[in-house]
Structure 1
Amino acid sequence: MSSPGSPAPATSRDRRRWAQYLVDERSEARVYRELADRREGEEREILLALADAEGRHEAHWLELLGGEPGKLPAPSVGSRLLGWMARRFGSIFVLALAQNAESRSPYDSEPFATSRMAADEKIHGEVVRGLAARGRRRLSGTFRAAVFGANDGLVSNLALVMGIGATGVGAQFVLFSGIAGLLAGALSMGAGEYVSVRSQRELLEATEPNDHADDVLAELDIDANELALVYRTRGMTEDEALAHAREIVGRAQGEEAAVVRTHERSTDHEVVGSALGAAGSSFLFFASGAIIPVLPWLFGLSGVAAIVLALALVGIALLATGATVGLLSGAPPLRRGLRQLAIGFGAAAITYVLGLVFGVSVG
């Protein structure tokens, strides 16, 4: 008889479950090692440490099984998807999926898993979250522009052609309206992005320290000068500002005068990026989304057939953009995809109904 609090004797179902855990742990360890092969430095070390931890869990299930089973089940769908993506795509997508997988560990309710293993999985989730966050920060600006630009184009132009198409006008008019909506929206997005980035760069230039005072540093009194006030306005404490000012003036009066500066150039300009580059990207991203609802009319379809095909094409694109956002943000991809779909089709439905209400007769 088992002691109080200990798991009941293992059944054949238990052993099948252990075997599944075993292959999944091996699969996850392999994913982390494949990702580590593409990284270097600290990130590589972290990924290899995660792989080693999965190896410890693997050893636990091997011990319970009494050694390597003669036949093992296939890895779970999630584990296979992670492995496939690790071999073909960037680490950010794989880590985002791994973050979800680690957060759904079955060990909390598994009587044959140790409490340490359950704790490990929670910690692994936070480690993977941190690694994924690094990747998200690296692509956040470009990704945001791409997804929101394309999504705006999809939704706005779908709503436009649905509304125009519902009025009963000819296919050529719907096509012209869609192309006009594409150009108007893309130009508006590009112009808005240009003004936004340009204004932000000008604001940074106005607030960035300059070199106007560099030439007079050597003339200052090392013990009585206002240079410390400059550094206090930049966030230093009074003591830090006084010490730094004395050091700068001392260097300026010595042999290092040629390399002394009152400021360091900010890197914010590089982070903000080019106004023209941002405008061009926004134009292209919006246009890439806005062209999709117009394709049926562009290829000669009209009426209900064109509307149905436009809805299908845009639906696929909305699901893809929503799922991508969900994947990279660590949220369920399907839920985010369906949310995007509902928003896009909701906007199209409203304009379609308005088109029916104010429709023209086809004569």
Structure 2
Amino acid sequence: MTAPAQPTAADRRQWARYLVEERAEGAVYARLAARRDGEERQILLALAEAERRHEQHWLDLLGEEPVRLPKAGLRSRMLGWMASRFGSIFVLALAQSAEARSPYDSEQHATAAMRADEKVHYEVVRGLAVRGRRRLAGSFRAAVFGANDGLVSNLALVLGIGATGIAPQFVLFSGIAGLLAGALSMGAGEFVSVRSQRELLAATEANDAADASAGDLDIDANELSLVYRARGMSEQESLLRAQRVVTAAQVGARRASTGAVGTHVAHSDHDIIGSDWAAAVSSFLLFASGAIIPVLPWIFGLTGFTAIVVALALVGIALLLTGAMVGILSGGPPLRRALRQLAIGFGAAAITYALGLLFGVTVL
């Protein structure tokens, strides 16, 4: 749509704001692209170029570069700062939320193409964010689960013990014991889980033993095709492959294909699962990082109701932060996720505190 004959001062101010926002968004995509390679880099550079087209639209309406431009919004400046330093899925998730709230749907001076562009940009950024979430899913889930488990379980423990009226040093000892017991349990559980998965994969992955002895087989009567059928190939494909392998082996070729069926997948699965020791250590540290927070008031000498209130405040902040982060990365409302996390954690703590009051003791 063309500019009005005599745009008002309010129009020009709004166009200037759109101009700086488009520049800021383009800079975010350019900075993210600088930290990536391959297809993702090309996609992000294309998004940055699209933002430059939108920027040019507002420049054309303004007629020239304004002498003074307003600052970009806080969200855009924060995204730009994060993109230049981290370039993480967290930035893409925030960019996805920003693209979902395009102001052009109700802006008469934006073109229909620009409105369509913004909807496409949202889907593109969402697709990139989904890729990142898939890569992050396992480790992020383990991090949130480990830290939250430490927060909630140890808060419940120290509040339950503290409500009985027992001496502060025993509350502190119980908190430290709960931290170590829980962290060791988490670490051991992850070690056993990952080691078991790796052993299961090792028992099921293919090897080259049958192919290596193919040169000694009778080309017309052998069971090599059954190996490939057992690995999931159809009967016809198995026969063709067996014939190629035997023929190649008999003329001196080392192998007729790049590898046994399933070998690549097995190695990829090993890489995805990761190291058993790394999983155990990270689970131990993540649980401990959450479990230490409820104990801090007693570590620093606080006692009684004051220690309980401070522990609740510290854990509440941590629960809100982890819940909000889950919301941002999942594309959901951060506040709702944060409050849900807080309600679950405080609910568990309230139950154990009530039980502590019920079974309270009198310290002589």
Do the two structures share a fold, i.e. TM-score over 0.5? yes
Tell me the TM-score normalised to structure 2 length: 0.91
**Alpha-carbon spacing, 1:61–1:215, altered in 2? closer, same or farther (3 Å):** closer
Give runs of ≥4 in structure 1 deviating > 6 Å.
6-9
CA separation in 2, counterparts of 1:254 and 1:147?
A: 57
Find out whether 1:59 has 2:73 as its counterpart: no
Cross-structure match for 2:362: 361
SS of residue paired to 1:213: helix
* Per-residue Cα deviation, 1:304-353 (whole angstroms, up to 9, x for no partner): 11111111211222122222222222333333222222221121122112
CA separation in 1, counterparts of 2:235 and 2:247?
A: 18
Q: CA deviation at 1:109?
A: 2.5
- After alignment, is 47-56 or 131-140 more displaced? 131-140
Which of 109, 113, 116 pairs up with 1:112? 109
CA separation in 2, counterparts of 1:8 and 1:236?
A: 71
Tell me the TM-score normalised to structure 1 length: 0.91
Identity %: 71
SS of residue paired to 2:361: coil
Unaligned 5+ runs, structure 1:
none
Q: What is the total number of aligned residue pairs between the two structures?
A: 360
Find out whether 1:15 has 2:12 as its counterpart: yes
- After alignment, is 145-154 or 132-141 more displaced? 132-141
Cross-structure match for 2:306: 305
* Per-residue Cα deviation, 1:276-320 (whole angstroms, up to 9, x for no partner): 221121111111110110011112110111111111211222122
SS of residue paired to 1:45: helix
Cross-structure match for 2:186: 189
Q: CA deviation at 1:256?
A: 1.4
Q: CA deviation at 1:235?
A: 2.9
Cross-structure match for 2:346: 345
CA separation in 1, counterparts of 2:239 and 2:113?
A: 52
* Per-residue Cα deviation, 1:221-261 (whole angstroms, up to 9, x for no partner): 33443322322333333333222222212221122137876
CA separation in 1, counterparts of 2:112 and 2:231?
A: 50
Q: CA deviation at 1:202?
A: 1.8
* Per-residue Cα deviation, 1:120-160 (whole angstroms, up to 9, x for no partner): 11211222122223333333332222221111000110111
Contact 1:7 1:111 in 2 (8 A): no
After TM superposition, the structure 1 = structure 2 runs for residues 4-43 of structure 1, keeping only pairs within 5 Å, are: 11-43=8-40
1:106 partner amino acid: P
* Per-residue Cα deviation, 1:186-245 (whole angstroms, up to 9, x for no partner): 121112112211221121122112334234311223344332232233333333322222
**Alpha-carbon spacing, 1:155–1:206, altered in 2? closer, same or farther (3 Å):** same
1:272 partner amino acid: I
Q: CA deviation at 1:262?
A: 4.1
CA separation in 2, counterparts of 1:59 and 1:215?
A: 64
Contact 2:244 2:256 in 1 (8 A): no
Contact 2:245 2:256 in 1 (8 A): no
> What is the root-mean-square deviation of aligned Cα atoms in Å?
2.5
Find out whether 1:73 has 2:74 as its counterpart: no
**Alpha-carbon spacing, 1:235–1:121, altered in 2? closer, same or farther (3 Å):** farther
Contact 1:99 1:128 in 2 (8 A): yes
CA separation in 2, counterparts of 1:149 and 1:124?
A: 35
Find out whether 1:122 has 2:119 as its counterpart: yes
1:32 partner amino acid: Y
CA separation in 2, counterparts of 1:104 and 1:221?
A: 69
